[in-house]
Amino acid sequence: MKITNNDHARALIAAAGITTDNVTRAQLELLWYKLSLQLPSGTYAMNMGVDLKFMTCRTDQWHSREAVSFNQDGFIGFAGWADSSNIKPILDAVGEWLEVLGIGQCRKQGLKDHEIAHLVNNVTLHLQRKLVGTPQCLRGIVSAAVVASLEKSSLRIDAQ
């Protein structure tokens, strides 16, 4: 999913029904994983932090700058420090994250935004419960693999 700018990213996340209040740990872990894959290794990489609602990255010049933040006031931030070239991998990762969560595919199948939000949150909460005790570094990978498998299957999940 191509994201053109920060406002576009916020609009797509809102359309998916994801807010700073209801974003799940499993969703945040998957986003962190997507960000870590998008940022070129070495000079521009993700930090592993305690609070996944405030993800930071680093370069040779600084140790910690905002990558993506889900703030208490409801604002979702994307590398406010970054120029258009430095924001690109972050927005690309957010687009991939939304795709893995199935947002684009669900719209193509005719599901409404509120139905998508309900399904995404239910699936991620279910996965989160099933993955208790699994090392954190593997949870995002498992979540992504399960969602990708569901997308490839012929299974149609209808919203209630």
Please, which pLDDT band fits residue 126 given cuts at 50, 70 and 90?
low
- pLDDT, position 39: 83
User: Which three-class secondary structure state does DSSP give residue 108?
Assistant: helix
Q: Which pTM does this prediction carry?
A: 0.66
Q: How far apart are CA 16 and CA 129, in angstroms?
A: 21
Percentage of the chain beyond pLDDT 90 is: 30
Which one, of 132, 148, 143, lies nearest residue 32 by Cα? Answer: 143
Lowest mean pLDDT among 1-10, 40-49, 73-82: 40-49
pLDDT in tens, 79-119: 999 888 889 999 999 999 998 887 656 666 676 666 766 66
Please, which pLDDT band fits residue 157 given cuts at 50, 70 and 90?
very low
Sign of the Cα pseudo-torsion (90, 40, 46, 144, in order): positive
